[in-house]
A = this chain, B = another copy of it.
Amino acid sequence: MLRNYKMTVSYDGTRYNGWQKQKNTETTIQGKLEQILFRLTGKEIPVQGAGRTDAGVHALGQVANFRLDTNLFEDELLSYFNEYLPDDIAVLSLKTASERFHSRLSAVGKIYCYRMYTGNAKPVFDRRYMWKPDEIPDAERMRSAASFLVGRHDFKSFCGNRHMNKSTVRKLDRITIEEAGGGRELRLTFEGEGFLQNMVRILTGTLFECGIGEREPEEMTGILEALERSRAGQMAPAKGLTLMEVRY
């Protein structure tokens, strides 16, 4: 019987060209997962992800679904994935879902976390998962800027896709900026119903520019109103970003 499976996937994105499949299946997360299903069934079975993470972006709790007819139990299928996936991709859970479940369309919210190293040494153990900027930003200035960005807005200025022809209006529920790691880390958490391409990294880069005094927090309103990518700040490096959770 053809079942719809929902799985939670964790990956270190360092070696990959993002989530979305390309010609070379070896270089994307979707490609690697579909390779396992091809190995199991000899068929090409599409794996649909909730978020198309950029090249170099990580995931703690990406969610994906696929349709499969198999005699394997859920935990056997989970073990099969983990046995054949490389060390930097793991399936954390796998369950049968309702026929209508779609990882992306059924999602009601996503949480992303951006980690910035702010110590005076180097983040040895987390060097693949944190960005170490040249200057240390002021967290209070960043929080002040973030307060202008929360809410339902047209985020076109923060969208990396210049040819986006669908709505760029999104509701951003929360941005929290916390010190962590004994004062050596600044952790930005973004929670919202959905995010545009590169949006979290452009938001982070713009907040960072406020934090180091290159911009004023009050400028955020004008950037939003401009609907122009060039008005927002730089895109923060991919390595600092992790998709933490998808909510349904």
Contact = CB atoms under 8 A, between A and B. Distances in A.
Interface of A: 10-12, 58, 60, 75, 78-79, 82, 85, 87-92, 120-125, 127, 129
Nearest to A93: B121
15 contacts: A10-B124, A60-B125, A78-B120, A78-B121, A79-B120, A82-B120, A82-B122, A87-B124, A87-B127, A88-B124, A89-B124, A90-B123, A90-B124, A92-B121, A125-B129
Contacts of A11: 124
B82 A121 contact: yes
Contacts of A10: 121, 124-125
Nearest to A127: B87
Contacts of A82: 120-122
B12 A125 contact: yes
A87 B120 contact: no
Contacts of A127: 12, 87-88
A92 B123 CA distance: 10
A121 B91 contact: yes
Contacts of A60: 125
Contacts of A88: 124, 127
